[in-house]
Protein backbone atom coordinates (compact mmCIF):
# COMPACT_ATOMS: atom_id res chain seq x y z
CA UNK A 1 0.00 0.00 0.00
CA UNK A 2 1.33 3.42 -0.87
CA UNK A 3 1.12 5.87 1.98
CA UNK A 4 2.60 8.75 0.00
CA UNK A 5 0.15 11.38 -1.15
CA UNK A 6 -0.35 11.10 -4.87
CA UNK A 7 -0.17 14.83 -5.28
CA UNK A 8 1.99 17.18 -3.29
CA UNK A 9 -0.07 19.71 -1.39
CA UNK A 10 0.01 23.01 -3.14
CA UNK A 11 0.20 26.36 -1.38
CA UNK A 12 -3.03 28.08 -0.54
CA UNK A 13 -4.46 29.81 -3.58
CA UNK A 14 -2.55 27.62 -6.04
CA UNK A 15 -5.08 24.88 -6.12
CA UNK A 16 -7.42 25.84 -8.93
CA UNK A 17 -7.95 22.91 -11.24
CA UNK A 18 -6.70 23.67 -14.75
CA UNK A 19 -9.52 22.57 -16.94
CA UNK A 20 -10.21 24.41 -20.15
CA UNK A 21 -13.84 23.37 -20.30
CA UNK A 22 -14.60 23.32 -16.62
CA UNK A 23 -17.78 24.78 -15.45
CA UNK A 24 -19.14 25.02 -11.93
CA UNK A 25 -20.31 21.39 -12.09
CA UNK A 26 -16.89 20.05 -13.02
CA UNK A 27 -15.18 22.10 -10.28
CA UNK A 28 -17.71 20.85 -7.78
CA UNK A 29 -17.08 17.25 -8.88
CA UNK A 30 -13.32 17.78 -8.58
CA UNK A 31 -13.65 19.28 -5.11
CA UNK A 32 -15.86 16.41 -3.97
CA UNK A 33 -13.44 13.81 -5.32
CA UNK A 34 -10.50 15.58 -3.69
CA UNK A 35 -12.26 15.47 -0.31
CA UNK A 36 -12.77 11.74 -0.81
CA UNK A 37 -9.11 11.16 -1.80
CA UNK A 38 -7.79 13.03 1.24
CA UNK A 39 -10.20 11.27 3.61
CA UNK A 40 -9.35 7.84 2.22
CA UNK A 41 -5.59 8.50 2.36
CA UNK A 42 -5.87 9.65 5.97
CA UNK A 43 -8.07 6.72 6.92
CA UNK A 44 -5.61 4.27 5.30
CA UNK A 45 -2.68 5.83 7.15
CA UNK A 46 -4.54 5.73 10.49
CA UNK A 47 -5.67 2.13 10.04
CA UNK A 48 -2.16 1.09 9.04
CA UNK A 49 -0.71 2.71 12.18
CA UNK A 50 -3.46 1.20 14.33
CA UNK A 51 -2.89 -2.30 12.92
CA UNK A 52 0.86 -2.03 13.53
CA UNK A 53 0.22 -0.91 17.11
CA UNK A 54 -2.28 -3.73 17.70
CA UNK A 55 0.02 -6.34 16.18
CA UNK A 56 2.87 -5.30 18.51
CA UNK A 57 0.53 -5.39 21.52
CA UNK A 58 -0.80 -8.82 20.55
CA UNK A 59 2.70 -10.23 20.06
CA UNK A 60 3.84 -8.92 23.45
CA UNK A 61 0.78 -10.25 25.27
CA UNK A 62 1.04 -13.61 23.51
CA UNK A 63 4.58 -13.98 24.84
CA UNK A 64 3.36 -13.05 28.32
CA UNK A 65 0.40 -15.43 28.47
CA UNK A 66 2.16 -18.19 26.49
CA UNK A 67 1.23 -19.30 22.99
CA UNK A 68 -1.46 -20.10 21.95
CA UNK A 69 -3.20 -18.83 25.11
CA UNK A 70 -6.84 -18.11 24.30
CA UNK A 71 -6.17 -17.91 20.54
CA UNK A 72 -6.84 -20.30 17.70
CA UNK A 73 -3.90 -21.41 15.54
CA UNK A 74 -5.22 -19.15 12.79
CA UNK A 75 -5.22 -16.14 15.13
CA UNK A 76 -1.66 -16.91 16.27
CA UNK A 77 -0.61 -17.10 12.62
CA UNK A 78 -2.31 -13.77 11.90
CA UNK A 79 -0.25 -11.91 14.49
CA UNK A 80 3.05 -13.71 13.97
CA UNK A 81 3.18 -14.26 10.20
CA UNK A 82 3.55 -10.60 9.31
CA UNK A 83 5.91 -8.20 11.08
CA UNK A 84 4.60 -4.73 11.90
CA UNK A 85 6.05 -2.07 9.61
CA UNK A 86 6.53 0.48 12.39
CA UNK A 87 7.38 0.46 16.08
CA UNK A 88 4.55 1.32 18.47
CA UNK A 89 6.13 4.73 19.11
CA UNK A 90 6.23 5.39 15.34
CA UNK A 91 2.58 4.34 15.04
CA UNK A 92 1.66 6.85 17.75
CA UNK A 93 3.62 9.63 16.03
CA UNK A 94 1.85 8.86 12.73
CA UNK A 95 -1.53 9.06 14.49
CA UNK A 96 -0.56 12.41 16.06
CA UNK A 97 0.55 13.77 12.64
CA UNK A 98 -2.80 12.69 11.20
CA UNK A 99 -4.73 14.40 13.97
CA UNK A 100 -2.79 17.60 13.27
CA UNK A 101 -3.47 17.30 9.53
CA UNK A 102 -7.18 16.69 10.12
CA UNK A 103 -7.30 19.69 12.41
CA UNK A 104 -5.67 21.84 9.73
CA UNK A 105 -8.47 20.95 7.33
CA UNK A 106 -8.28 20.04 3.70
CA UNK A 107 -5.35 20.95 1.46
CA UNK A 108 -6.37 22.72 -1.76
CA UNK A 109 -7.09 20.63 -4.84
CA UNK A 110 -3.70 20.13 -6.56
CA UNK A 111 -3.27 22.24 -9.64
CA UNK A 112 -3.90 20.33 -12.84
CA UNK A 113 -5.97 17.60 -11.24
CA UNK A 114 -8.55 15.96 -13.43
CA UNK A 115 -11.75 14.14 -12.54
CA UNK A 116 -10.27 11.00 -14.12
CA UNK A 117 -7.10 11.11 -11.99
CA UNK A 118 -8.97 11.66 -8.75
CA UNK A 119 -11.58 9.03 -9.58
CA UNK A 120 -8.78 6.55 -10.27
CA UNK A 121 -7.12 7.40 -6.95
CA UNK A 122 -10.41 6.91 -5.08
CA UNK A 123 -10.79 3.52 -6.76
CA UNK A 124 -7.23 2.59 -5.72
CA UNK A 125 -7.71 3.65 -2.11
CA UNK A 126 -11.10 2.07 -1.43
CA UNK A 127 -9.84 -1.55 -1.43
CA UNK A 128 -6.79 -0.53 0.61
CA UNK A 129 -9.02 0.96 3.31
CA UNK A 130 -11.35 -2.06 3.15
CA UNK A 131 -8.42 -4.48 3.57
CA UNK A 132 -6.99 -2.51 6.50
CA UNK A 133 -10.44 -2.30 8.12
CA UNK A 134 -10.76 -6.10 7.84
CA UNK A 135 -7.29 -6.51 9.35
CA UNK A 136 -8.12 -4.18 12.24
CA UNK A 137 -11.40 -6.05 12.87
CA UNK A 138 -9.48 -9.35 13.00
CA UNK A 139 -6.78 -8.00 15.35
CA UNK A 140 -9.18 -6.30 17.79
CA UNK A 141 -10.78 -9.48 19.30
CA UNK A 142 -7.34 -11.12 19.43
CA UNK A 143 -5.97 -8.23 21.48
CA UNK A 144 -8.99 -8.21 23.80
CA UNK A 145 -8.79 -11.99 24.33
CA UNK A 146 -5.08 -11.75 25.16
CA UNK A 147 -5.66 -8.79 27.49
CA UNK A 148 -8.39 -10.77 29.26
CA UNK A 149 -6.04 -13.77 29.60
CA UNK A 150 -3.38 -11.46 31.06
CA UNK A 151 -5.80 -10.10 33.67
CA UNK A 152 -9.61 -10.33 33.50
CA UNK A 153 -11.33 -7.04 32.84
CA UNK A 154 -13.18 -5.29 35.64
CA UNK A 155 -14.80 -1.89 35.08
CA UNK A 156 -13.93 0.94 37.47
CA UNK A 157 -15.94 0.86 40.69
CA UNK A 158 -18.62 3.47 41.35
CA UNK A 159 -16.29 5.03 43.93
CA UNK A 160 -13.52 5.35 41.33
CA UNK A 161 -15.92 6.78 38.75
CA UNK A 162 -17.05 9.46 41.19
CA UNK A 163 -13.46 10.24 42.18
CA UNK A 164 -12.35 10.65 38.56
CA UNK A 165 -15.33 12.86 37.71
CA UNK A 166 -14.54 15.08 40.71
CA UNK A 167 -10.87 15.26 39.63
CA UNK A 168 -11.90 16.25 36.09
CA UNK A 169 -13.97 19.13 37.44
CA UNK A 170 -11.45 20.26 40.05
CA UNK A 171 -7.72 20.56 40.42
CA UNK A 172 -5.94 17.84 38.46
CA UNK A 173 -3.84 15.53 40.63
CA UNK A 174 -0.28 14.47 39.82
CA UNK A 175 0.35 13.48 36.21
CA UNK A 176 2.23 10.39 35.04
CA UNK A 177 5.36 12.54 34.71
CA UNK A 178 4.88 13.89 38.25
CA UNK A 179 4.69 10.31 39.51
CA UNK A 180 7.90 9.34 37.71
CA UNK A 181 9.66 12.25 39.43
CA UNK A 182 8.09 11.35 42.78
CA UNK A 183 9.26 7.71 42.63
CA UNK A 184 12.67 8.75 41.34
CA UNK A 185 13.12 11.03 44.39
CA UNK A 186 11.91 8.23 46.66
CA UNK A 187 14.43 5.78 45.16
CA UNK A 188 17.30 8.24 45.67
CA UNK A 189 16.66 8.60 49.41
CA UNK B 1 -7.55 26.22 5.68
CA UNK B 2 -7.70 26.76 9.43
CA UNK B 3 -4.50 27.16 11.42
CA UNK B 4 -5.73 26.02 14.85
CA UNK B 5 -4.08 22.86 16.08
CA UNK B 6 -5.92 19.91 17.57
CA UNK B 7 -7.09 20.23 21.17
CA UNK B 8 -5.43 17.90 23.67
CA UNK B 9 -7.23 15.47 25.96
CA UNK B 10 -6.84 16.05 29.69
CA UNK B 11 -5.56 12.85 31.33
CA UNK B 12 -7.21 12.25 34.73
CA UNK B 13 -5.70 9.57 36.98
CA UNK B 14 -7.78 7.89 39.68
CA UNK B 15 -6.15 7.39 43.09
CA UNK B 16 -5.94 3.68 42.30
CA UNK B 17 -4.27 4.42 38.96
CA UNK B 18 -1.69 6.61 40.72
CA UNK B 19 -1.01 3.78 43.18
CA UNK B 20 -0.64 1.35 40.25
CA UNK B 21 1.82 3.67 38.54
CA UNK B 22 3.93 4.20 41.67
CA UNK B 23 4.13 0.43 42.12
CA UNK B 24 4.83 -0.06 38.42
CA UNK B 25 7.77 2.39 38.52
CA UNK B 26 9.13 0.85 41.75
CA UNK B 27 8.90 -2.63 40.19
CA UNK B 28 10.65 -1.33 37.07
CA UNK B 29 13.49 0.06 39.20
CA UNK B 30 13.82 -3.23 41.11
CA UNK B 31 13.97 -5.13 37.81
CA UNK B 32 16.59 -2.80 36.32
CA UNK B 33 14.01 -1.49 33.83
CA UNK B 34 13.68 2.08 35.08
CA UNK B 35 14.88 3.78 31.87
CA UNK B 36 12.80 1.54 29.61
CA UNK B 37 9.57 1.80 31.58
CA UNK B 38 9.71 5.53 32.36
CA UNK B 39 10.48 6.25 28.69
CA UNK B 40 7.45 4.11 27.74
CA UNK B 41 5.31 5.99 30.28
CA UNK B 42 6.32 9.33 28.77
CA UNK B 43 5.38 8.21 25.24
CA UNK B 44 2.15 6.73 26.60
CA UNK B 45 1.30 10.06 28.25
CA UNK B 46 1.80 11.79 24.89
CA UNK B 47 -0.44 9.21 23.21
CA UNK B 48 -3.19 9.60 25.81
CA UNK B 49 -3.02 13.37 25.44
CA UNK B 50 -3.33 13.40 21.65
CA UNK B 51 -4.53 10.05 20.25
CA UNK B 52 -5.92 7.80 23.01
CA UNK B 53 -7.88 5.71 20.51
CA UNK B 54 -4.61 4.58 18.92
CA UNK B 55 -3.34 2.77 22.03
CA UNK B 56 -6.60 1.23 23.28
CA UNK B 57 -9.64 -0.76 22.18
CA UNK B 58 -13.18 0.02 23.35
CA UNK B 59 -14.80 -2.57 25.61
CA UNK B 60 -17.95 -0.96 26.99
CA UNK B 61 -19.67 2.42 27.28
CA UNK B 62 -19.81 3.65 30.85
CA UNK B 63 -21.64 6.98 31.09
CA UNK B 64 -20.82 9.55 32.30
CA UNK B 65 -17.14 8.58 32.04
CA UNK B 66 -17.15 7.54 28.38
CA UNK B 67 -15.89 4.54 26.41
CA UNK B 68 -13.99 2.17 28.67
CA UNK B 69 -10.97 0.87 26.75
CA UNK B 70 -8.19 -1.65 27.26
CA UNK B 71 -4.82 -0.77 25.82
CA UNK B 72 -1.12 -1.29 25.89
CA UNK B 73 2.11 0.37 24.95
CA UNK B 74 5.31 -1.69 25.05
CA UNK B 75 5.91 -2.45 28.76
CA UNK B 76 2.63 -1.03 30.06
CA UNK B 77 -0.90 -2.47 30.00
CA UNK B 78 -3.69 0.00 30.84
CA UNK B 79 -7.42 0.66 31.15
CA UNK B 80 -8.89 4.05 30.38
CA UNK B 81 -12.22 5.69 29.68
CA UNK B 82 -12.31 8.20 26.84
CA UNK B 83 -14.83 11.04 26.78
CA UNK B 84 -14.59 12.73 23.38
CA UNK B 85 -17.21 15.37 24.17
CA UNK B 86 -15.23 16.71 27.14
CA UNK B 87 -11.80 15.72 25.76
CA UNK B 88 -11.04 13.71 28.89
CA UNK B 89 -9.12 10.48 29.35
CA UNK B 90 -9.78 8.81 32.69
CA UNK B 91 -7.05 6.31 33.56
CA UNK B 92 -7.95 3.74 36.19
CA UNK B 93 -5.55 0.79 35.93
CA UNK B 94 -1.95 0.07 34.92
CA UNK B 95 0.19 -3.08 34.91
CA UNK B 96 3.82 -3.75 34.06
CA UNK B 97 4.36 -6.37 31.36
CA UNK B 98 7.33 -8.73 31.59
CA UNK B 99 10.53 -7.58 29.91
CA UNK B 100 10.35 -10.08 27.05
CA UNK B 101 6.88 -8.75 26.09
CA UNK B 102 7.84 -5.13 25.54
> Domain count of chain B?
1
A168 → chain B, closest CA residue:
B12
In B, which residues are within 8 Å of A182 by CB distance?
22
CA angle centred on B14, ends A156 and A151, rounded to 5°: 45
Interface predicted TM-score of the whole assembly (ipTM), two decimals:
0.93
Identify the three-state secondary structure at position B97: coil
Shared-domain flag, residues A83 and A173: no
pLDDT at res. A24:
75
- Is there a domain that residue B76 lies in? yes
Range name among A172-181, B22-31, B39-48, B87-96 with the lowest pLDDT average: A172-181
Interface test with B, best of A57, A142, A166 (most B CBs within 10 A): A57
Same domain? For A25 and A47 the reply is yes
Tell whether A19 and A104 lie within a shared domain.
yes
pLDDT of residue A82: 87
Answer yes or no: do A89 and A64 share one domain.
yes
Kindly state whether residue B63 falls inside one of the protein's structural domains: yes
Q: Does residue A164 sit in the same domain as residue A82?
A: no
Q: Which of A176, A186, A189 to substitute to test the interface with B, most B CBs within 10 Å?
A: A176
Q: Cβ distance B3 to A104 under 8 Å?
A: yes
Q: How many domains does chain A have?
A: 2
Lowest mean pLDDT among A164-168, B10-14, B33-37, B80-84: A164-168
Average confidence (pLDDT) over A23-48: 93
- What is the mean pLDDT of the segment spanning A144-166? 92
Answer yes or no: is B2 within a domain.
Answer: no
A150 closest CB neighbour out of B54, B77, B86: B77
Residues A23 and A109 in one domain: yes
User: Is there a single domain that holds both residue A130 and residue A170?
Assistant: no
Does A177 sit within 8 Å of B5, measured CB to CB?
A: no
Q: Which domain holds residue B56?
A: 10-101
Residue-number span of the structural domain to which A181 is assigned: 155-189
Q: How many CB atoms lie within 10 A of CB A21?
A: 5
What percentage of chain B carries pLDDT values higher than 70? Answer: 94
CA pair distance A60, A142, nearest whole angstrom = 12
User: Which tops the pLDDT comparison, A149 or B100?
Assistant: A149
Amino acid sequence: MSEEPIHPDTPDGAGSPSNEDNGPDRNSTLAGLWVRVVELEREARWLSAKCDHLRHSCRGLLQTVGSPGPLTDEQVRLITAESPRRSQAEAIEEAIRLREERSAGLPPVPSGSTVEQLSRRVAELQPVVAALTTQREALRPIFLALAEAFEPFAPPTQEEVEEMLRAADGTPGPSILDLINEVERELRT
Amino acid sequence: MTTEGPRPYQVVLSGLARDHLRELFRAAARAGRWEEVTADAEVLMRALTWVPETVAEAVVDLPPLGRVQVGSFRSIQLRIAVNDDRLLVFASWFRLLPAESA
